[in-house]
Structure 1
């Protein structure tokens, strides 16, 4: 049955192609080796298990390979899971395009990039404008395909651009209400806050991310981000206070030490940046969960929302 992941139901028998986003070898409670996969297509992701594996399986079914799978769908711990009964690698005669199996942002990357650039053009402070434009331009090539995460919100090709653009649109409306906010600082903070995820996350040119870089694991995008702002500010002769304020916004945007921010925001624009980030991430995850949920039913548990289930009310209310 050729269904996409978003169409899977408990009890379905499946035969289709999938992209391996993550693959690892694990052992069961009885010490039996198996392969644990995160499989994806253009509609979503699903966990899958392959039992009775061989050494050849371990070597060939790795991250970013395209595979054909036959298996059955069941529910495990409240989520759909695919048990693989038969598996093989993609071969040229299958005549399919790997790009058709990658989730992408709903807008063209160049259009999102140009929208973000338009907010820089609106900036009145020349130092903020110069610094933000330099960092955006330096990362343009990878921004065209980079995700904003390995999982959870905006973990799709072009996801980093999409996350940044939607936050800018939301931030602009907030500035229309709270007119004392410095638009230049807020726009720059939005554009820069996750920029170093490009160095934190290891992603293919298809925009598929399965792991973190060594520097990403040891430092994280927040520390990497403030180091980058400091470096560019020195190279461009940017005012020291402006550099400090932008570094503070990036440093504090996760709000809590356990989430990577040693300081909470101490300027209004930093507080708003954190709120915009939270709103956009949660709305993305809720919308994603509801797109896989039938009316008058609850979604699967959403890890990023403290394992809450989201209710999908009847369309038209």
Structure 2
């Protein structure tokens, strides 16, 4: 396989690469003809491209989760990178054809994330919250450490859910060390469970789509239901205050009704959870985008951040200035 990846190519540069079809959505153009809106992926990231005048054979052949050979050109459309497709075909015998070869993965090993989360569970000293968290982690252990945290915008990779959780736990521990009044047990339990519903809301890391439950119910309500089921299995009264507080953490973690939360935060720990979640997602989106932006230029637009572009400072210039400054101090 060509060592050069999709985002290694510059704007207007042509390429010939094996790529994974992350998603393939059939749409109808203004002329009445069908086209396929693709999202392609390799380990450098995702990029969209349109396949015009698609026939039924094309639609059947090019499905999400399929590896294809793509000839095209990287372009910029309305501030976002996209692929102009020249030619596309299925792989031949002996060519790369495993989806796992093209998906992004969490930068921390699964075993290390498991250990860090499990160690934090020991710090949840409230017995009811501890038992519920343990029960649900055991129930969904495989999916929890494989699932992405989103379809596209943040932590949208293999192990993204667990990595997002670990990042948030580290932020939470820094905050609880600074502010001793915070109930660390409630905050940690909320962090670990807040996005567990993603294992039911999304299909998985290879060809990530929303499930029927994900579209019609959503991950917030799905976790609320799972907490009730856990209480039934553990013989915990789900009407006691402990359970109500934990459920509120989940139900309020998007912070605002407009963002999908059924209720707004009305606990100190719920308000903190909302900000930690938003902060970690924001930093991940920024890092992903700026990592593939040339120093001294503006990034592509980030849809999840109000479609803004961000400037990446010319670090070489800054480091040179610091060296010159240090040379003239004495």
TM-score, normalization: structure 2? 0.91
Correspondence for 2:232: 234
Correspondence for 2:10: 9
Correspondence for 1:219: 217
CA distance in 2, matches of 1:25, 1:289: 27
Secondary structure class of the residue paired with 2:81: strand
CA distance in 2, matches of 1:71, 1:38: 14
Correspondence for 1:255: 255
- Written as runs of structure 1 = structure 2, the 5 A alignment for 1:151-230 is 151-203=152-204, 207-230=205-228
Query: What is the CA deviation profile of residues 66-117 of structure 1, one whole-angstrom value per residue up to 9, with x for unaligned ones?
Result: 0001112222112221121111112332156432210111011121011101
CA distance in 2, matches of 1:56, 1:30: 20
Correspondence for 1:300: 300
CA distance in 1, matches of 2:47, 2:31: 24
Give the total of aligned pairs.
314
CA distance in 1, matches of 2:67, 2:235: 48
| Deviates further, 153-162 or 117-126 | 117-126
Secondary structure class of the residue paired with 1:92: coil
Q: 8 Å contact 2:66–2:99 — kept in the other structure? A: no
Q: 8 Å contact 1:147–1:209 — kept in the other structure? A: no
CA distance in 1, matches of 2:235, 2:99: 45
In structure 1, list runs of 5 or more residues that go unmatched.
none
Correspondence for 1:49: 50
Secondary structure class of the residue paired with 2:108: coil
CA distance in 2, matches of 1:2, 1:161: 28
Q: 8 Å contact 2:73–2:84 — kept in the other structure? A: yes
CA distance in 2, matches of 1:2, 1:56: 31
Aligned Cα root-mean-square deviation (Å): 1.5
Q: 8 Å contact 2:298–2:312 — kept in the other structure? A: yes
Which is higher, the Rg of structure 1 or of structure 2? 2
- Written as runs of structure 1 = structure 2, the 5 A alignment for 1:67-78 is 67-78=68-79
TM-score, normalization: structure 1? 0.95
Secondary structure class of the residue paired with 1:36: strand
Correspondence for 1:245: 245
